[in-house]
Structure 1
């Protein structure tokens, strides 16, 4: 018994010693795969808000581009969040900023520059830009950069940018005895053509009012005088004789000449009507070009907006912004993503898939874009119109200022106000909204 007991004690002691020896071996074994190698990089996840304001299945395109970025940058994961229209995206972005949960990077209207600055929501990008090739920024079209900077600093990078163009149905031109290769070039010609093109069940022209009435008004302002605001976003010039003339012409086409619908025409209805053959001409963003190309069952043309004293269109669309109250590492990752999304090949691809202008000059030097415009010359119209383009309406307190104008434009187009009186009222309301920024 004593011998058995002694053996049991020895056995236990041996087992204990073996266990004690084995423990360091297990730890070494567990750490061996990482021994002598660099620690795996910690993943950075970016939340990316983006809107869609034109027709077509573009969410899939955006998500594919984000996935391609992650393949090239495995330490960064981009989470694309479709946030609806531009207006919806603005609301969600501002709510995120106010709730201390901003997106890391977002495409918002280029015109939200001052609003986001007033919220202290975004960072200037000059520090990042300075590290790029000296020609990097100058490769972007100057007209698109106009809404991207203020006070000598660059706050956003152009992405899905546009000008307003005139689309016209060539088959309907032929039917009306008009030359399908000679679209209207002046206001007077547009009204004259509209009368010839209008018939039962079909308008001669449609111009959207809802959502972007101020943007459409800018076309008439630029073509007959000057832009609607100062470069510093602190003043507007609504109440002018030239603007009243432009608004009167717009109103007359609907209420007097009857070549376009009276009242408020919906933004999304206009391209649908054009594709369905319910209107012979339309004003709309070039961002709908690919949608029209894919769905129109007729021959159509695209041209500069008709002029009065000169050609003119405001630029439009969205820019990339990087947000302030996020980790520096995320800001650096967001900058990588912005650069990736605006590389020439990618800018060309985005332009082809949407109709938006390729925001960089070098996008038009890529083989894929050269081939596309050779087959489809209308893809160059909006880009070529940039020589006559100006910044979109953008001011401090931008929501109130643009609403003041849009409300009065709708009043004129619905027949409840006269142009001069409406613009005077819009000017007064905008001046009140801007008063705090002019002390």
Structure 2
């Protein structure tokens, strides 16, 4: 996947051509018992008249006419065939940010959609708006336990579950095996740690800089990349309740210093701005031999790359680590009860193992449930394309993405200050100290 911009990001990026995991010889995450495909809503939900026609408005973050729209349209049609009294009308909202803006406008105008896919990190903004339905009583505990724990982090506030994982991702390392071989590196061995990453990148960077060893995006989701490096150094950058950030911890400083040094000091990555959307194109064209990016780009790289490529865990510093990313399914509060029940039914439909497996194959996003990886469909796909298992295997080292109250403001200030450090107009310490002070000012009212 984060984040990916991880604005349209995870979907649009896959659909149009741009979209975030990790891998090496790490142990595979074992499949655990997962909920049956037909897991029903919790018994506490009172049934309504199932014969009454219901039309659901489903906001989805992708540009109209993209390949993803065909997948969503087909899922809506298939659901209607199984549930003739429920019609799902997808509304394609553009990027994640554009879709969130449209949802916010609709909620404020007392015209909420019924359900939507929005960034998992929009959680606290939606809670503040009192826009979304508490899903804890709508599903059984067994249903939620079927999802990978790393993806459930950004669905909750305390013990309350507000959304369901859908198109989720992590950051992974993509590398060009042909260029590895040409540089005298083992094409079956990705760099396992930061030291190896710099050494490999130096060997893969040509003297005329027509080929770089590594590219890490520095627009849109530079906070996501910094968070990954911070997790590898031993700390996350946000509290579990979305009320505090830890931007100026020593581990974060070590992470940002490494990030900035790759271009400004080590000269193994271009200096300055590296656009989120163009880094995958640089990788596919051979302009860079390695990249950090969302696993949501996996299908695009598989389709477009004309060379042998590998996918690996992000290299470790003190440990492996990556934040999760991508979008969740939200049900809205200010809609009729029969629409809420129909929305829950559609979510159950979308998260059945075979559909989760097919969505992962079609898009490159990580299958969100353990049961999906037990399907013959995904087992056979991974057998033929083992790169697809890396993001799943890395989940054992993953943690929740940056998500706070006033998340848009906090993310923007952090992004801006990180970019200033990458451009050399601030030192990493200055950038992090400023970020901490600004974020504390924004979040102090939520800490009472």
2:409 match: 400
* Residues 195-216 of structure 1 deviation map (CA, whole Å, 9 limit, x = unaligned): 1111232111111122111111
2:345 match: 336
TM superposition shift of 1:42: 3.2
Task: Tell me the TM-score normalised to structure 1 length.
Answer: 0.88
On the 8 A contact 2:164/2:328 being kept in 1, the answer is yes
Q: Secondary structure at the match of 2:142?
A: coil
TM superposition shift of 1:136: 1.8
1:166 match: 173
1:425 equivalent in alignment to 2:434: yes
* Residues 166-219 of structure 1 deviation map (CA, whole Å, 9 limit, x = unaligned): 000000000111000111011111111111111232111111122111111111
**d(CA) in 1 for partners of 2:139, 2:364:** 27
Instruction: Note the 1:370-385 alignment, pairs <5 A.
Output: 370-385=379-394
**d(CA) in 1 for partners of 2:218, 2:337:** 41
Q: Secondary structure at the match of 1:302?
A: strand
2:100 match: 90
Instruction: Note the 1:195-214 alignment, pairs <5 A.
Output: 195-199=202-206, 200-214=209-223
Alignment coverage as a number of residue pairs? 397
1:186 equivalent in alignment to 2:186: no
1:106 match: 116
Q: Which runs of 5+ in 2 are unaligned?
A: 1-48
1:306 equivalent in alignment to 2:315: yes
On the 8 A contact 2:50/2:85 being kept in 1, the answer is no
2:249 match: 240
* Residues 48-93 of structure 1 deviation map (CA, whole Å, 9 limit, x = unaligned): 111249xx72121111111111111111111111111222222111
TM superposition shift of 1:40: 10
1:45 match: 55
**d(CA) in 2 for partners of 1:40, 1:169:** 53
Per residue, is there more helix in 1 or in 2?
1
Instruction: Note the 1:250-269 alignment, pairs <5 A.
Output: 250-269=259-278
Instruction: Note the 1:143-162 alignment, pairs <5 A.
Output: 143-162=150-169
Instruction: Note the 1:104-143 alignment, pairs <5 A.
Output: 104-130=114-140, 135-143=142-150
Runs of 4+ aligned residues of structure 1 deviating over 4 Å after TM superposition are: none
**d(CA) in 1 for partners of 2:97, 2:267:** 31
Larger RCO, structure (CA 8 Å, separation 6 or more): 2
2:89 match: 79
Q: Secondary structure at the match of 2:91?
A: strand
On the 8 A contact 2:354/2:372 being kept in 1, the answer is yes
Q: 1:87 to 1:252 in 2, by over 3 A?
A: same
1:415 equivalent in alignment to 2:424: yes
On the 8 A contact 2:170/2:325 being kept in 1, the answer is yes
* Residues 345-386 of structure 1 deviation map (CA, whole Å, 9 limit, x = unaligned): 000000001111110000011111111011011110000000
* RMSD over aligned Cα atoms: 1.5
- The structure that has the greater radius of gyration is 1
